[in-house]
Amino acid sequence: MKKTILLLGIIFSLYVFIGYKFSEIDIPDEALRIRILANSNSEYDQTVKNELRQNIQSYVYDLLKSTTSIKEARKIITSKLDEISSRTDNFLKLKNYNLPYKVNFGYNFFPKKVYRGVTYDEGYYESLLITLGDGLGDNWWCVLFPPLCLLEAEESTEFEYTTLVGELLDKYIY
């Protein structure tokens, strides 16, 4: 009995350690982010933010999918700021969303975020920021370069990584 408990303890420890390491995503020091701030947390403002996110994310993915350096990514984003602003404007007009918006590329503040067990520190990060209205609502952000989130724009399937130990624990203990 003691051996079984000890074995389960070791397996559980490995599961926690290995599972944590697989879920961690390191954002390099030299990275470009994108952030979209909603006007408020109303259902309407959040819906507009999420639909705009899909539109802009897809466009930016197409712009950066062949990019191999942060310098090149900066140059592309900078040269396409007017187009990104125009796409934002056209999208918001299509949605009859009459609040002002701002598109900015530079160092912008990001709050602390915990996502899938990983904590991302608050701070100022080089980023493309789109602010809708007063920008007081919940935001969405991800990493443009390297393209840690832009792959979502290309793939519709979500993957979940598991470990053999985790699957065994799920099957026999939980």
Q: How far apart are CA 110 and CA 119, in angstroms?
A: 12
pLDDT in tens, 74-91: 999 999 999 999 999 999
145 strand-pairing partners: 32
Q: How far apart are CA 68 and CA 93, in angstroms?
A: 34
For the chain, domain boundaries:
2-23+163-172, 32-154
pLDDT in tens, 129-154: 999 999 999 999 888 888 766 544 44
pLDDT in tens, 100-121: 999 999 999 988 887 667 778 8
Q: How far apart are CA 6 and CA 169, in angstroms?
A: 14
Q: What's the mean pLDDT in 167-173?
A: 51
Indicate yes or no: pTM above 0.85.
no
Q: Which secondary-structure segment (H or E) carries 142?
A: strand 139-145
Mean pLDDT across the chain, nearest whole number? 79
Task: Determine how many CB atoms are found less than 10 A away from the CB of residue 114.
Answer: 8
Peptide bond into 111 cis (omega under 30): no
Look at residue 114 in the predicted model and tell me its pLDDT. 78
Q: How far apart are CA 31 and CA 144, in angstroms?
A: 7
pLDDT in tens, 39-61: 999 999 999 999 999 999 989 98
